[in-house]
Amino acid sequence: MHFVALAVTIGIAFAGLVSADENAGAGWAEENVRVVQMKLHEAGLYFGDIDGAYSSELAAALGRYQIRNRLPITGQLDTETSKALDAKPAVATTAADRTRSSETWRRLRMSNQQTPNNARETSSSRSAGTPGSGAEMPARSPPTATTPLFSGSTEPASAPPATASDTVSSSPGFSTERLRDYVGAFVLAGLDPHVGSETEFFADRVQYYDEGVIGREKIRKDLERYAARWPDRRFWLDGDITVDPQNGNRVRVTFPLRYELRNGAKHSSGKISKTLVLKPAGDDLQIVAVNERKAG
């Protein structure tokens, strides 16, 4: 009798594994990917071919969709995003697939003029506090950021003093859509298997939380400590971004960010208001100041 029960148990477990594998395989199927490409293209978020092939360009489009729909920012067709798009999930599991994440956030970071000024947005918004579901596009959904939570400071970020050559500008020349994608890329870089990848977003010298003005290498070490403390991280936007022009052709971007952090049995979750001060660097942007405070 024990052998019969054991055989039945093994059979059920094996059937469950087969079912899970089949479901995962269905997510990568050409027809499923093609449907996702079409929906993102119609929303003005995907600019590649409708060919049923998963690529970093499609991953960047998924990131744009997640940013604008208050979904965890992963750049993947994860469970929550696939449900919102009425598609089957397809999450990268191999080392080669995960390596593609670097190409994804770099593509999203340099979205530039291709970024959705033509995106279809509606006035609908999601309920605060939880990742969204459904395919609606909020009127003005925001970007996100990572890095150490709760530096202890409650003051908005302020950049190092502008030089004499800097001038006052009403706009740094980057659209709100571009700023959304830039911050979304910053979040994805913080989830990159190559710990400290988001260091590339910072200027040589940065007003870093309440630590004063420090250099990139010190920032990298801080990010590495943070990743070691919280190896499992999720972030998503929980409201709109606020864009304020600053002296020296700079811009301050503030946004509400929800987070879930885990390390084994340890868990932390909540909401912060994150502030980045950005300056143009050629066709790109660099972070010259960062700060955050707890939000209700």
Mean pLDDT of 138-155: 38
- State yes or no: pLDDT of 181 exceeds 80: yes
Grouping H, G, I as helix, E, B as strand and the rest as coil, residue 117 is: coil
How far is Cα 117 from Cα 140, in angstroms, rounded to an integer?
Answer: 12
Q: Side chain identity at 271, as an amino acid letter?
A: K
- Domain ranges within the chain, ordered by starting residue: 2-294
How far is Cα 117 from Cα 110, in angstroms, rounded to an integer?
Answer: 15
Confidence of residue 101 (pLDDT cuts 50, 70, 90): confident
State CA 162 to chain mean position distance: 29
Number of H helices and E strands in the chain, helices first, is: 7, 7
- State yes or no: pLDDT of 47 exceeds 70: yes
Q: What are phi and psi of 246, to 5 degrees?
A: -125, 175
Rg, Å, the chain Cα set: 21
Whole-number mean pLDDT of the chain? 76
Q: What pLDDT score was predicted for residue 154? A: 41
Please measure the distance between the N-terminal and C-terminal CA atoms of the chain and give it in whole angstroms.
Answer: 58
- Are 140 and 121 in contact, with CB atoms under 8 Å apart? yes
Looking at residue 192, the DSSP 8-state letter turns out to be S
Q: Of the candidates 65, 57, 67, 55, which has an alpha carbon nearest to the alpha carbon of residue 28?
A: 55
Tokens of 196: 């400290």
Q: What pLDDT score was predicted for residue 25? A: 54
Say if residue 161 is exposed, middle or buried (CB neighbours under 10 Å; 0-12, 13-18, 19+). Answer: exposed
Q: What pLDDT score was predicted for residue 293? A: 95
Q: What pLDDT score was predicted for residue 104? A: 86
235, β-bridge pairs: 259
Q: What pLDDT score was predicted for residue 113? A: 40
pLDDT over 70, % of the chain? 67
Instruction: Tell me the torsion sign for CA atoms 295, 184, 55, 34.
Output: positive
- State yes or no: pLDDT of 261 exceeds 60: yes
How far is Cα 1 from Cα 147, in angstroms, rounded to an integer?
Answer: 56
- State yes or no: pLDDT of 287 exceeds 50: yes
Q: What pLDDT score was predicted for residue 27? A: 67
Q: Name the fold adopted by 2-294.
A: Nuclear Transport Factor 2; Chain: A, (3.10.450)
- State yes or no: pLDDT of 254 exceeds 70: yes
Q: Which residue has the higher pLDDT, 253 or 187?
A: 253
Mean pLDDT of 106-124: 55
- State yes or no: pLDDT of 294 exceeds 70: yes
Q: What pLDDT score was predicted for residue 267? A: 97
- Are 238 and 259 in contact, with CB atoms under 8 Å apart? no
Q: Which residue has the higher pLDDT, 21 or 175?
A: 175
- State yes or no: pLDDT of 142 exceeds 50: no
In this predicted structure, which of 142-151, 202-211, 223-232, 237-246 has the lowest mean pLDDT? 142-151
Q: Of the candidates 212, 73, 53, which has an alpha carbon nearest to the alpha carbon of residue 142?
A: 73
Instruction: Tell me the torsion sign for CA atoms 73, 77, 80, 84.
Output: positive
How far is Cα 270 from Cα 295, in angstroms, rounded to an integer?
Answer: 8
- Are 290 and 198 in contact, with CB atoms under 8 Å apart? no
